[in-house]
Structure 1
Amino acid sequence: MRHFTIAAMAAATLLAVPASAQDREGWPTSLTIGTASQGGTYFIYGTGLAGLITESLGVNASGEVTGGPVQNATLVETGDHQIGLVTMGPAYEAWVGESELAPGVEHKSLRALFPMYQTPFQAVALKSSGIESLADLEGKRVSVGPAGGTAATYWPRFFEINGITADISYSGANDAVSQVKDGLIDAFAFAAGVPIAAFAQIAAENPVNIFAFTGDEAAKILEARPELSAFDIPGGLYEGYPDPQGTVSLWNFAVAHQEMPESLAYEITKLVMENNDRMLAIHATAAETIAANTDKNSFLPYHPGAVRYYEEAGISIPDELKGQ
Structure 2
Amino acid sequence: MRISFRFLRRALSMSAVTLAFAATAFSLQADTRVTYKSASAGTAYYQMGVELSEAIRQGTDDDIVVTLEDSQGSVQNVMEVMARQGNYMFTAPSELVGQALANEGAFAERPNPRFQEIRGLFPIPSITMHFVLAGDAGVTDIAALDGKHLLIGRGTFGAREAARYLTLFGLDAKVKIADAAIENGPDALKSGKIDGFVTASSFPSPNVIETVASMPVTLISLSEEQIEQTGATRQTIPGGTYPGIDKDVDTTSLPVMAYTTTFMDDDTAYTLTKTFWERLDSMAEEAAWWGSITPGMLENMLGTLHPGALRYYLEAGIKVPEELR
Q: Which has the higher helix share?
A: 2
The 5-angstrom pairing of residues 273-288 of structure 1 reads 273-288=277-292
Give per-residue Cα distances to partners, 1:225-267, cap 9 Å, x unaligned.
2xx3333321111122111122223433211233223332222
The 5-angstrom pairing of residues 1-324 of structure 1 reads 27-28=32-33, 31-35=35-39, 38=42, 40=44, 42-55=45-58, 56=60, 57-64=62-69, 66=71, 68-76=73-81, 78-79=83-84, 82-100=88-106, 102-106=107-111, 107-127=115-135, 134=142, 136=145, 140=149, 142-144=151-153, 147=155, 150-165=157-172, 167=177, 171=181, 174=183, 176-181=185-190, 187-214=196-223, 217-221=226-230, 225=231, 228-290=232-294, 292-293=295-296, 295-297=298-300, 299-315=302-318, 317=320, 320-322=323-325
Once the 2 structures are TM-superposed, how far is the Cα of residue 214 of structure 1 from its aligned partner? 4.7
Partner of 1:18: none
Gaps of 5+ in 1: 1-8, 15-20
Over the aligned positions, Cα root-mean-square deviation in angstroms equals: 3.9
Q: One-letter code of the match for 1:203?
A: V
- Give the Cα–Cα distance (whole angstroms) in 2 for the partners of residues 138 and 76 of structure 1: 46
Residue 236 and residue 295 in structure 1: after superposition, are their counterparts in 2 closer, same or farther (change >3 A)? Answer: closer
* Identical amino acids, percent of aligned pairs: 23
User: Per the alignment, in what secondary structure is the counterpart of residue 151 of structure 2?
Assistant: strand
User: Per the alignment, in what secondary structure is the counterpart of residue 85 of structure 1?
Assistant: strand
Residue 139 and residue 176 in structure 1: after superposition, are their counterparts in 2 closer, same or farther (change >3 A)? Answer: closer
Q: Which has the larger radius of gyration?
A: 2
Once the 2 structures are TM-superposed, how far is the Cα of residue 86 of structure 1 from its aligned partner? 2.7
- Give the Cα–Cα distance (whole angstroms) in 2 for the partners of residues 156 and 202 of structure 1: 22
How many residue pairs end up in the alignment? 289
- Give the Cα–Cα distance (whole angstroms) in 2 for the partners of residues 308 and 99 of structure 1: 32
Residue 316 and residue 126 in structure 1: after superposition, are their counterparts in 2 closer, same or farther (change >3 A)? Answer: closer
Partner of 1:17: none
- Give the Cα–Cα distance (whole angstroms) in 2 for the partners of residues 210 and 36 of structure 1: 27
- Give the Cα–Cα distance (whole angstroms) in 2 for the partners of residues 43 and 220 of structure 1: 32
TM-score by length of 1: 0.70
- Give the Cα–Cα distance (whole angstroms) in 1 for the partners of residues 102 and 178 of structure 2: 27
Q: One-letter code of the match for 2:66?
A: A
TM-score by length of 2: 0.70
Q: One-letter code of the match for 2:208?
A: F
User: Are the equivalent residues in 2 in contact too, given 1:94–1:105 (CA < 8 A)?
Assistant: no
Once the 2 structures are TM-superposed, how far is the Cα of residue 275 of structure 1 from its aligned partner? 2.2
Gaps of 5+ in 2: 1-23
Once the 2 structures are TM-superposed, how far is the Cα of residue 302 of structure 1 from its aligned partner? 0.8
